[in-house]
Structure 1
């Protein structure tokens, strides 16, 4: 069993699924069907219970939107995949707000400069948006690239971070 809650944010509804104090999935949606398939099969909960708050996890989202851009990085996240992707997710948590990396630089930081496509795949399969900030990865020319939750949300997050991290 796991718990979930949906918060109201300036970028739209944000739903968190958590188990034992760790985020399993999160994103800008109110639809659980958009989040659950992202959770690795071995971590996918058998059932979900809606709660009003997830305590520190909900607080971290609110703190982010209140200007504490590092707050989500203090929250435990549970994701599972192969070694490169898991390392790449850890690296995403180290990318400073307001200082996005290119996919090429991200691949290098994850330990394999030639694995640009694998790095992009790590972003695409990241289930814990905001807590594993894949929105901080952009194309080599600085354009946004893709984002599961839409380019409008990605642009908003990057603009907020650029403004607050000056």
Structure 2
């Protein structure tokens, strides 16, 4: 099966330009990759080869950009329902699903994240899932911290990770006591 064509667009965000690559699948656009770059060529290599589009075209005004803007306007839960498609082995795919359950404003550690994934001793595998995540922001790997509480790594830089965490801490819904 030939991977479909895709569209991409870039929007300005406080940490810098953010580009999203989507493919159209029913019922609407599905995110294949995203990150803090203006260069779509930086995103395509992280898309699994079975999903990597044969060509991409710029498409200003993608609806998913409204979601990104809503997130940065303070609706930090806006990203939760955006469809994402990533492929890899079963652990990574499950881990990416679990990442989407880490609430804004309540970051996990790699150790806790590994436990959430059902493999409490697989801390390195959990960190690898974060490192290999192609859909930054929508699969919020920035919400996982080093076990000592440090930022750990982030493909788009720890300064971007810090800005995202601070933004979410400011706007995250407060749990009822």
Compute the displacement of 1:32 (Å).
1.4
Per-residue displacement from partner, 1:24-72 (whole Å, max 9, x unpaired)?
A: 00000011121000000000000001011211x1111011001110111
Partner of 1:15: 19
Q: Which residue of 2 aligns with 1:47?
A: 55
- Give the match's secondary structure for 2:142: helix
Aligned counterpart, 1:161: 168
2:41 aligned with 1:33 = yes
Task: Give the TM-score normalised by the residue count of structure 2.
Answer: 0.92
Q: Secondary structure at the match of 1:6?
A: strand
Name structure 1 gaps, 5 residues minimum: none
TM-score under structure 1 normalisation? 0.98
2-structure distance, mates of 1:74, 1:99: 18
Shift of 1:16: 0.3
Distance 2:136 2:62 in 1: 16
Choose which of 91, 113, 116 in structure 2 pairs with 1:84: 91
2:118 is the alignment partner of 1:111: yes
Unpaired segments ≥5 residues, structure 2: none
Aligned CA-pair RMSD: 0.7
Moved over 4 A (4+): none
* Structure exhibiting the larger radius of gyration computed from Cα positions: 2
